[in-house]
Amino acid sequence: MASQRSSFSKLQRERDKQAKATAKREKRQDRSKGGDEEVETELDVVGDGSEISPGDLLKMVETLHRDFEDKKIDLETFEEKKTELLGRIRVD
């Protein structure tokens, strides 16, 4: 017998939970390094679960790419955040 798949809302809760944990981890790392205030602001916006316009989400993805290229975040963190941000873009 096949097992039942997770519902979309459950998957979304898990993604939000991962994003919040990632934001918390990054904030802690930035504090220990004396990090950039802009990065902390971006992470706080990602983790709160509120509606964000598609344009703002794309800007956040762009900032995420810059942070990865500047070696401010590792590949795993980059992939997690990118997936979470792109998953929040609504296509009509």
- How many residues does the structure list for the chain? 92
pLDDT at residue 64, as a whole number: 92
The answer, yes or no, to whether residue 72 has pLDDT greater than 60, is: yes
Residue 3 in tokens: 């097992």
* Band of pLDDT at residue 44, cut at 50, 70 and 90: very low
11-24: pLDDT as tens digits = 888 888 888 888 88
pLDDT at residue 63, as a whole number: 92
pLDDT at residue 38, as a whole number: 47
